Amino acid sequence: MSQSVRTRPAGSGQALSEAYDTALLDLDGVVYAGGNAIVHAVESLATARAGGMHLAYVTNNALRTPDTVAEHLTELGIPTGADDVITSAQAVARLISEQVPAGSRVLVIGGEGLRVALRERGLVPVESADDDPAAVVQGFGGPDLPWGRFAEASYAVARGVPWFASNTDLTIPSGRGIAPGNGAAVEVVRIATGAEPQVAGKPLPPMHRETILRTGAVRPLVVGDRLDTDIEGAFNGEVDSLLVLTGVTDGAQLLAAPPQHRPTYVDADLRGLLTGQPEVVEAEGGFRCGGWTATAGSERLELDGDGAALDGLRALCAAAWTAAGDGACELDGGKALARLGL
169 is catalytic: no
Kindly list the distances between the CA atom of residue 31 and the CA atoms of 28, 40, 58, 248, in Å, as whole numbers in the listed order: 6, 9, 11, 13
230 is catalytic: no
Q: Per the residue annotation, which of 21, 26, 67, 306 is the catalytic one?
A: 26
3-state secondary structure 165-220: ECCCCCEEEECCEEEECHHHHHHHHHHHHCCCCEECCCCCHHHHHHHHHHHCCCCE
Closest alpha carbon to 166 in 261, 247, 59, 34: 59
- Say which residues have a Cβ less than 8 Å from residue 7's Cβ, sequence separation at least 6: 318, 321, 322
Q: Which own/partner pairs from 252-255 qualify as long-range (CB within 8 Å, at least 24 positions apart)?
A: 252/333, 252/334, 252/337, 253/227, 254/227, 254/313, 254/317, 255/301, 255/316, 255/317, 255/320, 255/321, 255/329, 255/333, 255/337
Distance, in Å, from the CA atom of 267 to the CA atom of 311, rounded to the nearest integer, reads 9
Closest alpha carbon to 259 in 222, 225, 277, 234: 234
Catalytic (active-site) positions = 26, 28
